[in-house]
Amino acid sequence: MSGGVRGGFWLLLPLFGLALCLGLASVWMNIERVDLAYTLKKMEYELGERNALADKLGVERDNLMAPYQLKRLADKFGLGPAGPGQIRRLPAAETRPAPEKP
């Protein structure tokens, strides 16, 4: 084997090794990407579910706070809207000075 061929072999060997490593890295990254894609899809689904649930709970809250529901509750507890002469406006409380530190 001549010296030139031997030199070319030693030049190709690291390149071959590098190509092998890059190939392995590519496969590993692809596996990771697919894994991440599964996770993201699952999280998207969960987010959607929770948003939908939050929306439904919001509707329930809005329904419970609806004026007709409040009126029903007010009637149940003997409450009603204030009539003429039933409103008292209290003077604004004077600002108390902060207690001095001992």
Q: CA triplet 4, 8, 15: central angle to 5 degrees?
A: 170
Residue 82 tokens, joined: 């204030």
Q: Which is nearer to another protein, 11 or 87 (CB)?
A: 87
For residue 87 the two structure tokens come to: 């409103």
Taking the C-alpha atoms of residue 69 and residue 66, their distance in angstroms, rounded to an integer, is 5
Does 2 interact with another protein (rule: CB under 8 A)?
no
Smallest separation (angstroms) from another protein to the CB of 14: 26
Q: Among 88, 97, 99, 102, indicate the residue that binds another protein (CB under 8 A).
A: 88
The reply on whether position 58 binds another protein by CB under 8 A is: yes
